[in-house]
Amino acid sequence: MKINEHFLDLSENYLFSTVGAKVSAFQKAHPDRKVIKLSIGDVTCPLAPAVIAAMHRAVEDLAHAESFKGYGPDRYCYGYDVLIDSIKGSYARKGVRISSDEVFISDGAKSDLGNLLDLFSADNAVLIPDPVYPAYVDSNRMAGRRVLFADANEENGFLPMPDEGVDADLIYICSPNNPTGAAYNRQQLKAWVDYAIRKGAVILYDAAYEYFIEDPTLPRSIFEIEGARECAIEICSYSKTAGFTGVRCGYTVVPKELNRGGASLNRLWARRQSTKFNGASYIAQMGAAAVFTEEGEREIAANIDYYRGNAKTIAHCLEELGIWYTGGKNSPYLWMKCPNGMKSWEFFDHLLERANVVGTPGSGFGKNGEGFFRLTAFGTADSTLEACQRMRELLK
């Protein structure tokens, strides 16, 4: 028996587990201190009333023989029509037409971002921005895939552009970006689409934060860009859009025009999902179907505005302290430069020990993240205000 030795190349823990362990150790040593966590992007607002009502109705359905549901419908890989129709409606409002059999319901973006790799040979070269959401790099390293990095830095506004000299087969793009909060405009995304088509590459487009886009000129889906249906897969989530981090539901769109190696990736993904996945739960899907109703959209917009208020609170604090940052607009993340030339983990310890505030060290997202630090706007308004007050006192 041989294990997959690529796992041995990974760091011992996933980034957010390392942060969590450090914070738990600190809390154990200082049980009297009130620690404020602005680290992992986990939501704090309760689910929208429309979602809760739909989930209650779904529970009731499961309680009676005549409305009981077992496995989801096989036709669309266990996605219910009502949910798929609501997703199609949401795309139509962005001017994007998709068909029902291009939508695959998932238990969240993170799983699909890793699972999609089943479709691609391990000897493909993967292009990933640095810094980046660590799950992209780790899930490729687990398969032993060669990872190339696209440098994101202050000079390019943390929005790297394609380099003709680099031959990539798979390309990860997250916009608005985790961790930097930077968002591509249409021309920039078009350049990536054109590059992918020239190289015969596939873009895995992580749109988990699209609902935070305020600027109406920015694209919210890669399928708003001409040519994207021939080169991109879009991965979406209800986690940040509608507070589903604990409920678990998302969706992935694989267009039917996307063919590689003589095969339709839409069909390969359907084959993969029907073999290895039994669908998101009925209750989660019914809750998700309420998100894009008129009432649901109004309610989730109020929650997103609440987080935007937190982002503004943090942004004002950083501005007052004269600290350089990106994000916070069109994004729930603020990506700040560590003060006084501190390294990322050094600042993490300083902030935890002296202000009892937790963020995420930028270096955990890649080498270009060294010297930077990520704060999230997903906390409560009160704890965000208090964290900022403590940062002002510590860093003024």
Shortest Å distance, C-beta 384 to ligand MLT? 15
From residue 98 to residue 127, what is the string marking binding to ligand MLT with x (rule CB under 6 A)? Answer: ------------x-----------------
Q: Name which position in 178, 266, 303, 310 contacts ligand MLT (CB under 6 A).
A: 178
Residue closer to ligand MLT by CB (options 313, 331) is: 331
Q: Minimal CA–CA distance to 221: which of 179, 178, 266, 252?
A: 252
Backbone φ, ψ for residue 9 (5° rounding): -85, -10
Distance of closest approach, residue 246 Cβ to ligand MLT, in angstroms: 12
What residues form DSSP beta bridges with 357?
36
Query: What is the token pair recorded at 282?
Result: 């009925």
Under rule CB under 6 A, residue 131 binds ligand MLT: no
- As a whole number of angstroms, the distance between CA 235 and CA 74 comes to 21
Residue 373 touching ligand MLT (CB under 6 A): no
Query: CB-based contacts of 19: which residues, under 8 Å, 6+ apart?
Result: 39, 40, 348, 358, 360, 361, 364
- Other CB atoms closer than 10 Å to residue 330's CB: what's the count? 21
Point out the residue whose Cβ comes nearest to ligand MLT.
41
**φ, ψ at 75 (rounded to 5°):** -55, -50
- Name the strand (E) or helix (H) holding 355: helix 344-355
Name which of 195 and 335 has its Cβ closer to ligand MLT: 335
Q: How far is the CB of 208 from ligand MLT (least distance, A)?
A: 7
Number of residues located near ligand MLT, criterion CB under 6 A? 6
Closest CB to ligand MLT among residues 80, 372: 372
Residue with Cβ nearer ligand MLT (22 or 57)? 22
In terms of phi and psi (left: phi > 0; alpha: psi -120 to 50; beta: otherwise), the region of 243 is left
The one segment of 39-47, 86-94, 309-317, 341-349 that binds ligand MLT by CB under 6 A = 39-47
**41 is a site residue for ligand MLT (CB under 6 A):** yes
Residues of this chain that interact with ligand MLT (CB under 6 A) are: 40-42, 110, 133, 178
